[in-house]
Amino acid sequence: MARSTPRHGPRDERGVLAARILQQARASFAEDGYAGTTVRAVARAAGVDPALVYHYYGSKEGLLDAATSPPRDFLDEIVAAWQAPQGELGEQLVRRMLRNWENPAHEPVLRAILQIAGHEPAMREKLRTIIERSMMGPAEQALGEPERLARSGLIATQFLGLAFMRYVWKIEPIATMTEDELVAGIAPTIQRYLDGDIGAAATARAVTGA
């Protein structure tokens, strides 16, 4: 590299190493579980000294947290989707969800969260928080809290199953259907969960607070 055009300062170097460490950490947490993962093995797989991993992330817990924190613009994307007109929300949410997963900067993190949540209770709490934050839309409607939570929960069931089938397990034909095909199939579901009839019980809950 020519000295006059340095392309890798210490900052870049840190970015490259951190990305490599987090990639190995995600693979290990997903495959071997939290208990089965060691900072030493992650460091070895990433080709760095374990001390560097501790320097960057503090502890195995800190490493797990960093490896499964969605990039900032992941949630920004979702917030943006909620700006769509009410009648288009189903479609916009499906499109944003698919594009988030197809963004190479987001996909490994999202996949790791779902894989690790299968066996790590702490990750489920994080997942719950992400779902909760992703569902600010219904909060802006004048809904009682129980109804808002019921609608958000139903939306989450559909999106999570779609994410598993299409991106984590890659089961056909869901894995290779086009965005437009998935929108045609799934957007009406999301739209109904948002503002359609989901049964009297949710309304009753909202009214009675039960």
Residue from 1, 35, 142, 210 touching a second copy (CB under 8 A): that is: 35
Residue from 88, 139, 161, 207 touching a second copy (CB under 8 A): that is: 161
Residue of 66, 72, 73 lying closest to 17 (CA atoms)? 66
Residue from 8, 15, 16, 32 touching a second copy (CB under 8 A): that is: 32
Burial of 4 (0-12, 13-18, 19+ CB in 10 A): exposed
Nearer to a second copy, 45 or 131 (CB): 131
Q: Is 200 a binder of a second copy (CB under 8 A)?
A: yes
Q: How many Å apart are CA 122 and CA 141, to the nearest integer?
A: 30
For residues 112 and 67, the answer to whether their CB atoms sit within 8 Å is yes
Q: How many Å apart are CA 109 and CA 75, to the nearest integer?
A: 13
Nearer to a second copy, 1 or 210 (CB): 210
Q: Tokens for 133, please give them.
A: 């934050």
Q: Is 101 a binder of a second copy (CB under 8 A)?
A: no
Under the phi-then-psi rule, with left for phi > 0, alpha for psi from -120 to 50, and beta for the rest, what region is 159?
Answer: alpha
Least Cβ distance, residue 131 to a second copy (angstroms): 7
Judged by the rule CB under 8 A, the positions of this chain that interact with a second copy are: 30-33, 35-36, 114-119, 124, 127-128, 131, 146, 149-150, 153-154, 156-162, 164-166, 168-174, 177-178, 180-181, 183-186, 188-189, 192-193, 197-202
